[in-house]
Amino acid sequence: MTALWTSCLVVALAEMGDKTQLIALALAARCQRAWTIMLGILIATTLNHALAATAGVWVARRLPPAALAWALAVGFIASGIWTLRPDEAPETSAPARWGPLLTTVVVFFLAEMGDKTQLATVALGARFVSAAWVTAGSTLGMLAADGAVVFGGSYLARLVSPVTLRRIAAALFLILGVAALAGALRLS
């Protein structure tokens, strides 16, 4: 359960102000079908993060524990620093004939490739060696963060600034990085 809740929290906070969150807001405003957009996000994120968590587990099983601990420490610390930089939303100009569900799935899946939340999911998969729990947690985190903008949009932005949320996410990544670094030093 630690893998589920840690993954959920890390990804939800990392997603705040991320380009995929901005895409979710743009799609929701454009299509006016919140539940359809959320279903697309669920499908795309589950597929993308299942691949990422599985890659993390694969790496964890092949690297020596000390090398894995160092890689995780560097990965989490880099993610913490990366999280402080706000993203810009790419264009979401998929063909209208695709409909809102397929458009959301395709755009979201592709936008997540190499994104900080996907890379965090790889690191979390390696850390917890559990693709299923990490995928479930990271997908819940994405749904929570993106659901906030799909359903709450500008109201949420008035409650908590994106800068504050990015700082919280960065701090969480840095805490995980320092914990992994301590483990790496113990193994070395």
Question: Cα torsion for 39, 45, 46, 48, to the nearest 10°?
Answer: 140
98, 151 contact by CB (below 8 A): no
125, 23 contact by CB (below 8 A): no
Average pLDDT over residues 21-46: 86
Domain that holds residue 29: 2-187
Residue 153, pLDDT > 80, answer: no
Total domains in the fold of the chain: 1
93, 27 contact by CB (below 8 A): no
User: What are the pLDDT digits (tens) for 85-137?
Assistant: 765 555 545 545 668 899 889 888 988 887 888 888 998 999 999 999 999 99
Paired tokens of 114: 């190499």
